[in-house]
Structure 1
């Protein structure tokens, strides 16, 4: 049996699915079709992400199966649209990363950038630095009293340039490294000890999964869908949550707890490999 899929934004899972002969995108309506008011063709399966606007609502209602990437998104769809729960299924984002021993990667990275490898690295990155909480990240980490820590922020050249301008009045060179258009963000996750993302965004932050896969301790906000995969200790009430400073210092001072959380995070993240998520999707297809 063949299936058609539609989506607003692409991802690893969709790219892989479209390689299968049995799965394709629906044909776009031609000028002639529109001229003769030919019935619009809808996809059998719709991958919903982002805003639940009129276009998304139309495609959801006309699909046989809807895939969302979080329980939060599922709840929104079901609460706003009169459709059965079985029609809306959750498949979390997939990750496809090469894993290397973090200790070795960290030593190589620190040598390259002249950083003391004994320091604990706290990392931040995001597509949009401002909405991902870069100001909150700086405010939180600058209040930490631990001496053996180092911060890294990575982003595109324009955003990093603006950030450098904003931070020029502070003397942060010994504590903070700003990286623009860094070619291998996987290396940054592997080299880091903590990934702190005090984001304002609701959409699932795949970087949280990447950090967990690379054995980072992860903290993110309760408003982001990625909180569904982390524990309460690692969840911030909001981007400016004051308790996060104490949580960071507590974990930085306890090597055994940090080691345990890193190990648990990687175990959880491995469940969402591209291979596993493909299996989950194909298992869903068999129920149709």
Structure 2
């Protein structure tokens, strides 16, 4: 079996799975010593591109046979940067969702009991490592414009992020209930317990929490500029920080339970197309078609 040379910043669950199917060798940048000895340089068969288009990234894109990116937005960015590059070399493979537990209504019920959340109260959820950069102020603007207030807002982050937020929330005049959680161990449980996940982040790279929220039957709202917007419908998109329609949409879902359930089930169906197993299957077919291994 011929080697499959893979260039990637760090090994992932996906590449570990590929190691079991193919003779994977990870690409290493040639040393100056090897260049002086005129050793044969083998370039990557596959480059998993992530992040900005640095000079090293451009080099790997130009030298690799196949480039894997996580969105069509990134593919377009590469084509604009490198117009002479063959576009067919770039394949879009959306991120995959890894979960540690299955959806179960009893988990939602037990969570509400533990935190004294009324059975009839819907849960809106927001989490991020950096709350400010992920749109906390935009979230509060959305909630402040809503008519409905019979819901519970859960915000999860590190203690460093949550501690100052506690003071801010205590001074606020919000009428809805809220729960602030620090370094919560079982994130899957929070997604199962929640009904609507809102992430108005200004960051453009694919927010994988959107996938997990959808997998666990949440309606979702996220910025159109985020690459995860490619897998959701237009109803779920936040056009800008000033998009007043989002408050109306969230209100309507809290009022119309049937519509909320419909969207939740549709999102679950979409998210189940983006599992690790399906990603391995997709990339394996491409490898077998392109390379003599």
Partner of 1:59: 60
Mapped pair 1:199 → 2:201: yes
TM-score, with structure 1 as normaliser: 0.92
Given that residues 162 and 182 in structure 2 are in contact (C-alpha distance below 8 angstroms), is that contact kept between their aligned partners in structure 1? yes
What's 1:77 paired with? 78
Change (3 A) 1:10 1:195: farther
The offset of 1:7, in angstroms, is: 1.9
Q: 1:258 to 1:102 in 2, by over 3 A?
A: farther
Answering whether residue 201 of structure 2 is matched by residue 178 of structure 1, we say: no
Q: How does 1:1-288 map to 2 (within 5 A)?
A: 1-8=2-9, 11-27=12-28, 29-30=30-31, 32-33=33-34, 36=37, 38=39, 41-81=42-82, 82-170=84-172, 175-288=177-290
* Cα gap change, 1:31 to 1:77, in 2 (>3 Å): closer
Distance 1:11 1:133, change over 3 A: farther
Residue 143 of structure 1 deviates from its aligned partner by 3.2
Count of aligned positions? 288
Instruction: Say whether the 8 Å CA contact 1:106–1:117 is kept in structure 2.
Output: no
After TM superposition, give the deviation of residue 99 of structure 1 in Å: 4.7
- The more displaced of 58-67 and 136-145 is 136-145
Q: Helix, strand or coil for the counterpart of 2:214? A: helix
| Between 277-286 and 35-44, the greater mean CA deviation after superposition | 35-44
Moved more, 227-236 or 20-29: 20-29
Measure, in 1, the Cα distance between the counterparts of 2:181 and 2:175. Answer: 12
* CA distance in 2 between partners of 1:116 and 1:42 (Å): 59
Unmatched tracts of structure 1, length 5 or more: none
> In the aligned structure 1, how far is the partner of 2:197 from the partner of 2:207?
12
Distance 1:249 1:49 in 2: 37
**Residue 193 to residue 160, structure 1, CA distance change in 2 (3 Å):** same
Whether the 8 Å CA contact 2:150–2:176 is kept in 1: the answer is no
Kept in 2, the 8 Å contact 1:119–1:149? The answer is yes
Write the distance in 2 (CA, Å) between the matches of 1:148 and 1:40. Answer: 64
Counterpart-to-counterpart distance in 2, 1:87 and 1:93? 19
Alpha-carbon RMSD: 2.1
Report the TM-score, using the length of structure 2 for normalisation: 0.91
What SS is found at the alignment partner of 1:127?
coil
Cα distance in 2, alignment partners of residues 119 and 21 from structure 1: 50
